[in-house]
């Protein structure tokens, strides 16, 4: 049976030393972090929060930016394994293609924690996954829209996240569940904007052009706020009012979407905390020092924000957090 390195150490030194190990926390531990890249404000904040959490706990964090490429992530993980790190954090860009490298980490007895996205791989290949319920996020965004339009006909355009990523797959599913059975709501166009502001704008421009200058569009659902902000610009460039002529609902709760709410240009967002590292380090601390195996899925909150929720205050609260 496979035993992670921390569990073997904890079992080996026994209960006598475990309280001393607890007191040390993650001080001096070497932890590799394979980050996707910097496609969105939320991603930048997650990177900043992870680095700050590592510093506060005395972790020697080895950071690798994959520039949106899975092959770079796999290379980075293999590098961490070769260095013999104590643990690995990975935010997987897409959900498939991880089994081989995760098996290599397992064989090296290095615990892996998934951050913010899921993988299609056997669950025994990673220690835990810290992420939101992405289906719920889509459902919350969709339920808001259902309530906002009431009986009115509403043709929706959708900006999807990165193709093959778990949030793109799950947020689509959740939103579709929310509008299922509502005959007055339908998604008329759906395309990836790759979670970036520039692509979100570009794709929205195409939607507006294809839909009679935007006249046929009632709402845009973007899988993240950055694409929504890009879409807002495209709507304005087309001479329409975002937030009024075309409703805007998205996910993340980054400062810029609250600024757009203050301006009356965005209608709803679902919060995704950028602090995935806090729960991840807590789980690793307990595991490496005491052999405590965490829950397989540590789920973060998915709270809806609208202009009724003090967007200026929310902007102010978030703006220093590295977004
Ligand atoms: O996996 C989380 C998603 O990835 C965030 O919603 C998005 O902004 C990011 O790039």
Q: What is the mean pLDDT of each run of 10 residues along the chain (323 residues)?
A: 38 35 80 98 98 98 98 98 98 98 98 98 98 98 98 98 98 98 97 98 98 97 98 98 98 98 98 98 98 98 98 96 91
Both 126 and 150 in one domain: the answer is: no
Q: What is this structure's pTM?
A: 0.93
Both 164 and 75 in one domain: the answer is: no
Give a yes or no: residue 322 inside a domain: no
* 323 pocket-lining for ligand 1 (C-beta < 6 Å): no
Q: What is the pLDDT of residue 8?
A: 39
Q: What is the pLDDT of residue 207?
A: 98
Both 189 and 281 in one domain: the answer is: no
* Terminal alpha carbon distance of the chain: 42
Give a yes or no: residue 194 inside a domain: yes
107 CA from centroid of ligand 1 (Å): 30
Q: Which of 40, 89, 168 to mutate to test the pocket of ligand 1 (most atoms within 8 A of CB)?
A: 40
Residues in the chain: 323
Both 164 and 146 in one domain: the answer is: yes
CATH of the domain at 247: 3.40.50.2300
Number of the ligand 1 atom closest to the C-alpha atom of 166: 1
Q: What is the pLDDT of residue 239?
A: 98
Q: How many domains does the chain have?
A: 2
Both 127 and 208 in one domain: the answer is: no
Give a yes or no: residue 307 inside a domain: no
H/E stretch holding 60 reads strand 60-65
Give a yes or no: residue 316 inside a domain: no
Burial 249-281 (b: 16+ CB within 10 A, else e): bbbbbbbbbbbbbeeebbbbbbbbbbbbbbbbb
Q: Does residue 212 contact residue 245 with C-beta atoms inside 8 Å?
A: no
Give a yes or no: residue 311 inside a domain: no
Both 50 and 112 in one domain: the answer is: yes
User: Of 251, 271, 291, which marks where a domain is finished?
Assistant: 271
Both 10 and 105 in one domain: the answer is: yes
Q: What is the pLDDT of residue 320?
A: 86
Both 140 and 264 in one domain: the answer is: yes
Q: Which domain holds residue 30?
A: 2-132+274-301
Give a yes or no: residue 167 inside a domain: yes
């Amino acid at each position: 049976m496979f035993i992670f390195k921390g569990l073997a150490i904890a079992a080996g030194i026994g209960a006598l030393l475990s309280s001393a190990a607890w007191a040390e926390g993650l001080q001096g531990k070497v932890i590799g972090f394979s980050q996707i890249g910097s496609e969105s404000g939320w991603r930048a904040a997650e990177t900043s929060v992870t680095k700050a959490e590592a510093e506060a706990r005395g972790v020697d964090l080895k950071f690798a930016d994959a520039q949106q490429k899975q092959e770079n992530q796999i290379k980075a993980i293999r590098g961490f394994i070769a260095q013999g790190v104590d643990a690995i954090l990975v935010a997987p860009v897409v959900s498939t293609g991880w089994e081989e490298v995760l098996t290599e980490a397992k064989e090296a007895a290095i615990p892996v924690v998934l951050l913010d996205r899921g993988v299609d791989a056997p669950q025994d290949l990673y220690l835990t996954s810290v992420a939101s319920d992405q289906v719920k996020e889509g459902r919350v965004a969709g339920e808001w829209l259902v309530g906002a339009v009431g009986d009115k006909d509403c043709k929706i355009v959708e900006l999807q996240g990165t193709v093959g990523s778990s949030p793109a797959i799950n947020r689509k599913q959740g939103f579709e569940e929310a509008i299922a059975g509502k005959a007055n709501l339908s998604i008329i166009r759906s395309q990836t904007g790759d979670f970036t502001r520039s692509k979100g704008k570009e794709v929205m421009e195409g939607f507006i052009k294809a839909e009679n200058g935007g006249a046929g569009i009632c709402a845009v659902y973007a899988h993240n706020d950055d694409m929504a902000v890009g879409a807002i610009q495209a709507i304005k460039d087309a001479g329409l009012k975002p937030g009024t002529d075309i409703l805007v609902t998205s996910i993340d709760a980054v400062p810029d979407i609250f600024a757009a709410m203050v301006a009356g240009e965005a209608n709803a967002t679902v919060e995704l905390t950028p602090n995935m590292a806090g729960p991840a380090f807590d789980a690793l601390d307990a595991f490496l020092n005491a052999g405590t195996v965490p829950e397989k899925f540590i789920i973060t909150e998915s709270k809806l924000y609208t202009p009724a929720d003090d967007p200026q205050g929310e902007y102010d609260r978030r703006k220093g957090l590295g977004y």
